[in-house]
Every structure is written in structure tokens, then in C-alpha cells.
A and B are shown apart, each in its own frame.
Chain A
């Protein structure tokens, strides 16, 4: 299993956000679905230690995450947050910074192409990008780290239909070309059908169902 959560609970601001979750996530494309407030994004943040559970354990490829160096883990398990949050500067400088943090060789053009952006975007100032372009630049930045797992938090929630379709096509292409595992959070069941092979359904901080797409979203 890629990730395994056992009896995981987490409180935030006096509220139980995750409640005794036990679930396994295999390699390949997984979609975590559920309504707003179900705890999907919080669960995603546990997978690269942007947060730790109050109770229970999370393991990655059999290793307890609590024992992993969070900085090395985050380069291997890259998270792209829901809201674009690029650093000041150009798209190229953002991509280069991510590669430098991961100690990987920089190929800006390839990262931009994989994220569906033309090469001349490297010189674009991030303040001049549309939300869709920022989302793709965030993806390019994550890809610069050559991660083994991509965690995507509602990657198309701020986009119109055309931009959403383009990002989904990019993700499908990415899967084919790089064969990396993707864990995608979405409130859109149709998107989960299009992008996931394994599905985790959540509701009110708990997992209600998990399994192959054909069984969970039949």
C-alpha cells in the first residue's frame, strides 16, 4: 500500500475534523470525495506531514510517517494546495526554487510542458497570471521536484469548465507519461470517475467507503 491510516483522529479549534479513520490508499490514481467539511483536505495534509494526527498512525510505503524527515518526505510526496500560492517573482523562479529545494536538476521547459504551459511562461510574473494559469504553474512547480506522489487538493475548483477540462487532460497525460501516483481531493463525483481508479468516500470526518472506482461509484 502507498499510504495506510490507522485509527487516525484530529481535532482543530475544539472540533473533531477526522474521527477514527482507518483506510488504505494504493499506488496509482486515487480520488478522495465527499461534501465540504468532510475532512478531505485535512486527510491530504496528513500524507506529507503538513499536519500530524492527534491519535493514530499514518504510514507511507510501510514506514511510519512520524519517523520520516518531513522536508525530504515533502519533496517525494508533493502537495499542490487548493488555492494558488506562488512566491513573488516569475513562474521560472518558482519552478527553479522547487527544484533547488528537492536537489533535482532543473528543466523548466519540461515542467511547464507537463503542466500544459508554453515555454515562454517561464518569464511571466506570477502576478499577471489568471487563476487557471497559476494553478498550472503550481503544478509545474511541484513537478520540478520529480515527486513519486502528487497530492492535489481540488485542483480545478476555481476554474471554469474549459480550464477544468484542460487541467484534467494534463493530469491524465501526466499519469501516462510519468506513471506517478496521484491522490486527488474533489467534491465532484464526475471528476473522481474521470481521474480516479481507487476512491475514498468521506463524510463528517469519517471514511464511509473505500475501494476500486467500479465498486464505490458504481
Chain B
């Protein structure tokens, strides 16, 4: 599967024409996104360039400790970022941190144990990044939904608690819907992959000149891995986070 492709800075610069087009559309239609598009373009350039050098360093050092350190930082920033989407969930940081760590370690551990990938930086860094990124999105969406629904359903939850139900029983339908909303995007995109869109890894490999069969197989491995990771992240995040809405005496926190 080893391929290589050289991309010049000029080629990257040329695609800025499309960024300019996006800004022009926003300006013309008064979508008020020009500033955000500018920030997104600069941030993506700086962040990806920086991570490119970090990955190069890790590949050259060829040590798993650096991989572990990088993934730990990703989990930490992922949890902090996702917390911003889960403002209505009290104490959301720890459930998110544990969810991302659990998704990362379980998924990467399994694919290595099953012999899908070797335990080397070349595989663990990019796959780990995708796993943690998707887990972050899924758990952020799940907790966002959890927070909204818990706020909207306070009367119903308290009425159920008043019957002698535990917080877990009272919140169960909401936790279920929150988990579903966290997973549904990836499930739907997995359903339509190849029909409506080509996923990034496959496109990257094809552009790099890889055999299409290899590109498809690697993409399938990643899709299935990501399904597992978003399920674990969503499950852990919602299971830990819903508890923060209740006191030990099974009362709704004010």
C-alpha cells in the first residue's frame, strides 16, 4: 500500500482561488461568513503545517511513546472542544475526556490486536487522529442533544422521578436518543459511501496513485473502525454525563 506523491506549495496556493470564491459567495449573499472563512483558512494552514512537522518528527523518532503523547494531547483538546458544544451538561469535561480516551484505546487496541494495522507510528498516528476526531464529533453531538432534551423535559423527568423511578430510568429515553444522534451521521455516511460521496482516505490514496482495490479496502477498514469508535465514545459520554443531572437522592439538580 506504500505510495508517495509530491504536492508543491504552489498547488496549495492555487486552491486559495476556491477559498476566495467561498468568501465572495458569503459577501454577495450577506451570509456574514467572510471573517470565519478567513480564520478557518489560516487556522487550517497553521495547524496542519504544524502537525505535519510533528508527525514527521514522530515518524523519524519511530517510538510509540511519542505516539502516545500526541494522541493524549488530541484527546485532551478534543474533550475541551466538545465541552463547548455541551454547555447545558454539568461537568461535561470528564465524561468527554473518558469517552475519547476509551474510544481511542479500545479501537486502536482492537485493530492492532486483530492484526489489521501494525503498532507503528505510521499507522497509529493517522488512524488515531481519525478515531479521536470522529469520537469527538459524535460525543459532542450526543451531549449537545442530551443537554437540550434534559432542559426541555425537566417536568416529565421530575414527574417520572416522583413515581419512584431512578434518574437512570427517568432519563433512559433521552440518553437513547442522544446516543443515536451522536452516531447517526457516521452511520448514514457509511450507508451512502461510494454512491453519493467518496471518503477522504480513498480519495487521498487514489490521488497518490494507489491501486483502487487497496484504496477501497483501507477505506472500509477505517469506516468500520470509526463506527466502533463513535459507538464507544457516544455510549461512554452519555452514560457518564446523564448522571451529572441527578443528585445521589435521585433528584434533579437545580
**A residues lining the B interface (CB < 8 Å):** 12-13, 48-52, 70-75, 78-81, 83, 85-88, 97-98, 101-102, 138, 141-142, 145
Contacts and interface: CB of A to CB of B under 8 A. Distances in A.
8 contacts: A48-B162, A50-B162, A75-B163, A87-B173, A101-B164, A101-B169, A138-B159, A141-B163
Interface of B: 155-156, 158-166, 169, 173, 249-252, 254
A101 B163 contact: yes
B251 A74 contact: no
Given A12-B254, A50-B251, A52-B251, A81 B164 contact: no
Main secondary structure of the interface of A (DSSP, over half): mixed
B164 A87 contact: no
B159 A78 contact: no
Nearest to A52: B249
Nearest to B161: A50
A88 B164 contact: no
A13 B254 CA distance: 8
A81 B162 CA distance: 9
Nearest to B254: A12
A133 B245 CA distance: 30
Contact of B164 (A12, A13, A71, A85): A71
Contacts of A71: 164-166, 250
Given A13-B254, A52-B249, A145 B164 contact: yes
A86 B163 CA distance: 11
B161 A74 contact: yes
Contacts of A81: 155, 158-159, 162
A153 B158 CA distance: 13
Nearest to A71: B164
Contacts of B156: 85-87
Max chain A C-beta neighbours (<10 A), residue from B159, B163, B165: B163
A101 B163 CA distance: 7
A146 B159 CA distance: 17
B159 A72 contact: no
A78 B165 contact: no
B249 A74 contact: no
A50 B164 contact: no
Contacts of A52: 249, 251
Contacts of B155: 81, 83, 85
A88 B163 CA distance: 15
Contacts of B165: 71, 101
Contacts of B249: 49, 52, 70
Given A13-B254, A71-B250, A87 B160 contact: yes
A48 B161 CA distance: 10
Contact of B163 (A13, A49, A83, A145): A145
A50 B163 CA distance: 10
Contacts of B164: 71-75, 101-102, 145
A141 B155 CA distance: 16
A49 B155 CA distance: 16
A132 B158 CA distance: 20
Contacts of B251: 49-52, 70
Contacts of A142: 163
B1 to A, nearest CB: 49
Contacts of A88: 173
Contact of B158 (A75, A85, A86): A85
Nearest to A51: B251
B127 to A, nearest CB: 40
